[in-house]
């Protein structure tokens, strides 16, 4: 299948086949892809929680209007934004850049100052929103990569972030839930897989200048 | 190349080869992919401006700290969030769903009410942030798809959104700039293409439960 055929194949899977699980190879490949997601200034201002435990997923399901995908999918992926984006966080990132690229740390001071300038110019709420937006890029990478790898997924915003944070113990880790996606394989009788895909007509979506 | 190899091949291209442009087939394929991006409740709360015009791009470059990618890339893609997400917008979307899926409009009233409930429960700022997050999913789809298709890209947040809105006449269209990406082909001498990719160690990025 071409990329476009794969993206047409994918849909927000509402009913997963409970008996079909990703192999560890498939899960690793999908997580590797998400790990390579780009982010603003490269700071990767989020972490990714891969939830497989049935008891935890049952609690999360209750915190998400009982949506069956959360329990029935192979795994639930929780994108959690960093809430402590400060100079210390940036310093640690820049240290890592210097090491990864064998660059003299002193040559990265200007880059560090630029990021700190951006971060310190935002309110706490704006910083968290910024961090969450980066997680949404990663969600886009996950959904496209899953389609590419023949894995089904269902992105979801319908959940209580405070309850998710509580259940997953995120607050004490300096994290807050941004968005989630269930991954696995569609049940053969998921009626949603048979529906036409709905998208704005291209002439409404695109403006060419 | 495998998906992972393609995602490793991609990087935020800083120097584009001015002489290399996407063919209309390549541009169409990439835009088709982005058009298929998922969004919350399917509302696609953004439009995409494809800027090719040199004079417009020169102005946009000035509104983005002079970043050369804006003028030198093959095209600049501007993701612009809808600022008028109201009951009328939702009604028009639900009409489109009914038509696309040949569903009796009356059967979609519950779905319409759910979306309206979400939208009306947000402040104007929250609605725009929500719309922008959906555009970030589309950015993730664009970056992954571009890598898949062998097209280079550079996502950017460093620009003045009010100036972009002004130059592109977005305010009167009920839109505001969310994020942008230059697309094209890397210059052979872009030093950034030779640098190691920097990502958090996987054990820091992922939490398994």
pLDDT at B117: 93
Q: How many other CB atoms are there within 10 angstroms of residue A30's CB atom?
A: 25
- What are B95-150's pLDDT values in tens digits? 999 999 999 999 999 999 999 999 999 999 999 999 999 999 999 999 999 999 99
pLDDT at A90: 94
pLDDT at B65: 96
pLDDT at A68: 96
Give dist(CA A115, CA A163) in Å, integer.
31
* Residue of chain B nearest A99, judged by CA positions: B198
Q: Which residues neighbour A55 within 8 Å (Cβ) at sequence distance 6 or greater?
A: none
Contact A38 B136 (CB under 8 A): no
Q: What is the model's pTM?
A: 0.96
Contact B52 A208 (CB under 8 A): yes
Residue of A64, A22, A44, A157 whose CA lies nearest to B45: A157
Q: Dig out the tokens for B92 from the structure.
A: 């028009």
3-state helix, strand, coil in chain B (%, to 5): 55, 15, 30
Give dist(CA A107, CA B194) in Å, integer.
17
Contact A200 B100 (CB under 8 A): no
Please report, in tens digits, the pLDDT of each residue of chain A (209 residues total).
999 999 999 999 999 999 999 999 999 999 999 999 999 999 999 999 999 999 999 999 999 999 999 999 999 999 999 999 999 999 999 999 999 999 999 999 999 999 999 999 999 999 999 999 999 999 999 999 999 999 999 999 999 999 999 999 999 999 999 999 999 999 999 999 988 898 999 999 999 99
Residue of B165, B146, B142, B169 whose CA lies nearest to B34: B142
- Name chain A contacts of B144, Cβ cutoff 8 Å: 33, 140-141, 144-145, 148
Please state the domain extents for chain B. Answer: 3-161+175-187
Domain B3-161+175-187, CATH homologous superfamily name and number? NADH Oxidase (3.40.109.10)
pLDDT at B127: 95
Beta bridge partners of A45: none
Considering the segment(s) A3-39+49-164+177-187 as one domain, its CATH architecture is 3-Layer(aba) Sandwich (3.40)
Tokens 């009951």 -> residue: B87
Q: Chain A: give the shortest CA distance to residue B68, in Å.
A: 17
- What are B13-64's pLDDT values in tens digits? 999 999 999 999 999 999 999 999 999 999 999 999 999 999 999 999 999 9
Q: Dig out the tokens for B16 from the structure.
A: 């584009």
Q: Chain B: give the shortest CA distance to residue A208, in Å.
A: 5
Four-residue CA torsion sign, B84, B85, B91, B96: positive
Contact A168 B37 (CB under 8 A): no
Tokens 């209580």 -> residue: A160
Give dist(CA B135, CA A33) in Å, integer.
20
């Amino acid at each position: 299948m071409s990329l476009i055929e794969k993206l047409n194949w994918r849909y927000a899977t509402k009913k997963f086949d409970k008996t079909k699980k990703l192999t560890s190879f498939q899960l690793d490949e999908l997580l590797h892809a998400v790990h390579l997601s780009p982010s603003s200034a490269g700071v990767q201002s989020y972490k990714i929680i891969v939830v497989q435990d049935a008891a935890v997923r049952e609690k999360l399901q209750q915190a998400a209007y009982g949506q069956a995908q959360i329990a029935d999918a192979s795994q639930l992926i929780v994108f959690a934004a960093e809430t402590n984006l400060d100079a210390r966080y940036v310093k640690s990132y820049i240290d890592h850049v210097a090491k990864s690229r064998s660059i003299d740390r002193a040559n990265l001071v200007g880059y560090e100052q630029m990021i700190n300038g951006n971060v310190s110019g935002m309110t706490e709420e704006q910083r968290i929103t910024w961090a969450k937006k980066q997680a949404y890029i990663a969600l886009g990478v996950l959904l496209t990569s899953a389609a590419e790898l023949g894995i089904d997924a269902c992105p979801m915003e319908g959940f209580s972030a405070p309850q998710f944070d509580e259940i997953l113990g995120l607050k004490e880790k300096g994290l807050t839930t941004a968005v989630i996606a269930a991954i696995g394989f569609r049940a053969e009788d998921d009626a949603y897989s048979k529906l036409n895909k709905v998208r704005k007509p291209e002439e409404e979506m695109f403006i060419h200048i």
